[in-house]
Amino acid sequence: MKSRIALLTFSLFVQTAAHAQPAVAAEVFADTESLLPPAGDWSGKSESLVVPANDPWITPAERMQLAATPDYAETVAWLQKLVRAAPELEMVSIGRSLEGRDIWMVVASADGAFTAEAMRKTGKPLLLAHSGIHAGEIDGKDAGLMLLRDMTVAAKRKPLLEGANFLFIPVLNVDGHERRSAYNRINQRGPLEMGWRTNARNQNLNRDFTKLDTAEVRALVRVFRQWQPDLYLDLHVTDGADYQYDITFGGNGRDGWSPAIGNWIEDVYRPAVNEALLANGHQPGGLIFAANNMDMQDGVLTWKADPRFSNGYGDAIHLPAVLVENHSLKPYRRRVLGTYVLLAESMALLAREQASLQAATNSDRQSRPQSVPLVFARDESQAVKMVPFKAVGSERYHGAASGGEVVRWTGQPLTITIPEIFVNKPVVTAQMPAAYIIPPAWGDVAGRIGLHGIEIEQITEPLTTQAEIYRLPEAGIAQPTAWTPNPFEGHARIDPGEPVRQLIETTFPQGSYRISTDQPLGELLVLMLEPQAPDSFLQWGFFLEIFTRTEYAEAYVMEPLARKMLDDDPALRTRFEEKLANDPAFAASPQQRLMWFYEQTPFYDAQYLVYPVARIPRQQK
């Protein structure tokens, strides 16, 4: 057996050598960190959170000076030991990954309330945080382990757990976490080895919150539904530009689908967390996206996340959700300690501000807006707002390898004033219908909608009613229905153009799904079913079948029928002759000419390009 393996290895090597470019010496890649912009010196009060080397409850990452992170097995083993020792903790598996790993969640309650129901009875607010939705961005895991210890066996932060309950998922993308390497995130300064962004099937979990393809996000959405957290934190690490801020975070803005929650995050959460981070030597900032995708010269964008993202989904379902992005160029130790401070302050703040947060959440859950913004764009009419920004120096140079302009970050801290550009103007809006109807043939879509906790009713008899239907633009004519060239997240994304809405009498078969918008997740429903919503099931390619025409007319019958139509209808003849004169490609194509006639007969497929999901207008409740 051994020799066969050796032979196989050898032949693979020969094949690779024959097809690949000559290998670059491994030493070239041994110290890519030295190519990163300078990290600068840092020390802060949060360093005192690290326990001494002889502490019996030292975490695996602390044992490695917060320069490395433990693998799945070591993480889970350490947590199991902690849970056995701490009466305040339990651990539950919320689901399994494609490779069969449990996705663990630590349930922390000072009252020993380890079920959702028992937890609600404590009357205390509930914080849910997870790390590793992108498994290479794992700071939150090692911070959470330290905090769980300090709130329990170490007894240093017990009051935090007296004031609020805590659910902690150390790693959501458990399979990606085990694709460990020193070469996974070239722009990130540590840990030494880290996991991979996507799951075992190369799916990006943080694009999956509406379509719910993945076991991991389905498990998380079950946690939202079952445990009903008051605040949800999704812990990441950035890619992109350099600046002084080490911990950046935010919700989905003030003017999204949950405006009261958006204001609470900006006016209550942000100042408190900023203060805690500053007091511990950190440099907090808002979520930062360079307008030119390169440096800060053209300002920063504050964009609205679509509901495929965790923070956009939170906004759509009225779950207070904060996206945390630690700065990838800051050393791992500094990022982990900053995350600890943010988690601890979130617990403390929840205890203090439970009433104000619940008031904001209830206000958004109870609102029933008349219309829902689907797409936001930059408001060009708004005066540009200039804001101070803690930048680091940068210069641009011509790259000999790229042949283009490249940024070099100098590491020099400087405060500059730059434009803050808001991408918050609704440019496509949908009127809220009373309900949507999905025919039974598309039950898979209704099933996914049900996973979100949206109430669905199945009609037991055929229903004839006035309904609004969307007809999509004919491919190749008027506004072409454009297909994105590459698959995205395992789907063929489609651009529906500008569909035409018509009110017609329609009969829906028995077994159709009627989904009222008059429920707390009404906005999410609109965002999943309106054709022009970027995260609609239509745009995600769940209705690809409607783009195929399936009946045909043979020329031997269409030719005589077309001549008969021309003879009987002078207006049709005029239109035909105009088209022949103005459209040479049409005139030259026998198929196109006969198709033109076919489309105007009752034989033509009336369902072709009709979006099967119908709207019941509001006045017909």
Residues lying near Zn ion in the complex (CB under 5 A) are found at: 134, 137, 236
Choose between 145 and 205: whose C-beta lies nearer to Zn ion: 205
Give the nearest distance from C-beta 234 to Zn ion in angstroms.
8
Closer of 140 and 262 to Zn ion (Cβ): 140
> Which residues on neighbouring strands pair with residue 408, listed in sequence order?
395
User: Starting at the edge strand that comes first in sequence, how are the strands of the sheet with 289-290 ordered?
Assistant: 289-290, 300-302, 405-422, 385-398
Whichever of 50 and 305 has its CB closer to Zn ion, that residue is 305
The least distance separating Zn ion from the CB of residue 15, rounded to whole angstroms, comes to 35
Residue (302 or 311) nearer to Zn ion, CB = 311
Sheet holding 435-438, edge to edge: 457-458, 513-516, 435-438, 610-616, 463-471, 500-508
Shortest distance, position 495 Cβ to Zn ion, whole Å: 26
- What is the enclosing helix (H) or strand (E) of 503? strand 500-508
Q: Which is nearer to Zn ion, 62 or 325 (CB)?
A: 325
Question: What CA–CA distances, in Å, run from 617 to 431, 538, 558?
Answer: 9, 20, 39
DSSP state of 267: I
Q: Which two tokens stand for residue 140?
A: 């939150």
CB atoms within 10 A of CB 512: 24
CA separation for the pair 384, 607 (Å, rounded): 47
> CB 146 → Zn ion: shortest distance, Å?
21
Closer residue to Zn ion in complex, CB, 184/506: 184
Nearer to Zn ion, 132 or 499 (CB): 132
DSSP-H helix ranges across 328-378: 332-366
Shortest distance (Å) from residue 178 CB to Zn ion? 18
List Cα–Cα distances, 215 to 30, 195, 199, 240, in angstroms: 36, 18, 10, 29
Q: How far apart are CA 312 and CA 299, in angstroms?
A: 23
d(CA 422, CA 330): 27
Q: Which is nearer to Zn ion, 128 or 525 (CB)?
A: 128
Radius of gyration of the CA atoms of the chain, in A: 28
Rounded to a whole number of angstroms, the minimum distance from the CB of residue 236 to Zn ion is 4
Least distance CB 505 / Zn ion (angstroms): 48
Q: How many residues does the chain have?
A: 621
Name the residue with tokens 């010496």: 25
Q: Give which of 242, 221, 357 is closest to 288, Cα–Cα.
A: 242
In angstroms, give the least distance from the CB of 325 to Zn ion: 7
- The Cα 248–Cα 67 span in angstroms is 21
Residues 423, 301 contacting (CB under 8 angstroms):
yes
The whole-angstrom separation of Cα 145 and Cα 75 is: 9
Shorter beta-carbon distance to Zn ion: residue 343 or 538: 343
**Residue nearer to Zn ion on the CB measure, 188 or 354:** 188
For Zn ion, the closer of residues 134 and 254 by Cβ is: 134
| Amino acid identity for residue 71 in this structure | D
In the complex, minimum distance from the CB of residue 137 to Zn ion, in angstroms, rounded to a whole number: 5
- Residue 445 · residue 539 · CB < 8 Å: no
> Of 165 and 302, which CB lies nearer to Zn ion in the complex structure?
302
Supply 65's token pair: 């000076």
Q: Provide, for the chain, the percentages of residues in helix, strand and coil under a 3-state DSSP scheme, each rounded to the nearest 5.
A: 35, 25, 40
Minimum distance of Zn ion from residue 196's CB (angstroms):
12
- Minimal distance in Å, beta carbon 186 to Zn ion? 15
**Nearest Cα to 272, choosing from 214, 348, 330, 184?**
348
CB 454 within 8 Å of CB 515: yes
CB of 411 to Zn ion, least distance (A): 24
Least separation in angstroms between residue 365's CB and Zn ion is 28
Question: Toward Zn ion, which CB reaches closer, 134 or 452?
Answer: 134
* DSSP codes joined into one string, 155-208: -SSHHHHHH-EEEEES-SSHHHHTS-BTTS-TT----SSB--SS-TTS--GGG-
